[in-house]
Amino acid sequence: MTEYLAVGRNAIAYDVSGEGPLVVLAHGIGDSRHSYRFVAPALAAAGYRVANVDIRGCGDSSLGWDGYSRTDIAGDLLAVVRHLGGPAVIIGQSISGGAATIAAATAPDLITGVIELAPFTRKQSITLGGLVRVKRYRNGSTHLAMTLVRGSLPSWKKYLDVAYPVKPADWDGELARIEAKLSEPGRMKALQAMCKSDPGDAGAQLPNVACPVLVIEGSADPDWADPRAEGEKIIADLPSGLGELVVIEGAGHYPHAQTPEKVLALALPFLARTAARA
């Protein structure tokens, strides 16, 4: 059942399932909370209260926000945690991995752990050698650029085809859902605004994080020529001993939807160590 939290003059949509320590799920650009359709029920069954959020401008959340940065999204996630009574562990994918970093660094009393899935948490630069050597990186970058510049839904769909090297069993229906949502007036503009946002605000907060962080990368993620190296750089920028990196072989940019059983096998032990027990 969809609930709405007022944030200023706008609204964040989310749903809650299960009982126990709070876990907040936040998806990536151009997506919705439905991307956690395989993970959220399993976490609830494992004894967690799961708040699955549509980040601003996406899913059932409102449009017309003043900004779409990671700092903005972090503020929304913290508002949800406060509203639901926190503290919480945040699981954030892509842009929301960066937002989770900012939330943890700026509100250590509310965030007890962070899991970052294929996160954009550091300032990025194009790897020219990688564009030449790595086909998936070249293709993914090309389709993302066309989406950013033209607001092209066909280009976004081509990006998703690369970002999901193995498709979930329900992919046809899920892709139709994504296409329908992004066809709504204003949704593609929000996606473009997020694409333009600089992840440097999240990178600057990595040294200020005080809770454990698990970074999960997919070896076949087209967003980086070397996903493992990107994950290692995030861990290196965290305070010593707080970060752990795991790379799922064959996973793309959406490991929670492509390989949910592997993500859960990593997430559940982490949550057992970090989630605040009722």
Collect all residues with Cβ–Cβ distance below 8 Å to 258 and sequence separation of at least 6. Answer: 164, 165, 166, 167, 168, 218, 251, 252
E runs forming strands in the chain: 3-7, 10-17, 22-26, 49-54, 88-93, 111-117, 213-218, 243-248
Cα separation, 208 vs 187, in Å, equals: 33
Nearest to 231 by CA among 252, 210, 214: 214
| φ, ψ of residue 183 in degrees (nearest 5) | -80, -10
Compute the Cα dihedral for 96, 100, 101, 102 and give only its sign.
Answer: positive
In contact, 77 and 100? CB cutoff 8 Å: yes
Domains present along the chain, CATH in parentheses: 3-274 (3.40.50.1820)
pLDDT tens digits for range 211-240: 999 999 999 999 999 999 999 999 999 999
What is the pLDDT confidence band of residue 77, given thresholds at 50, 70 and 90? very high
pLDDT in tens, 14-25: 999 999 999 999
The neighbouring-strand residues paired with 93 are: 117
pLDDT tier at 278 (50, 70, 90 boundaries)? very low
pTM over 0.85: yes
Count CB neighbours of 184 within 10 A. Answer: 10
DSSP-derived 3-state class of residue 185: coil
Residue matched to tokens 């990536």 = 28
Q: How many CB atoms lie within 10 A of CB 163?
A: 25
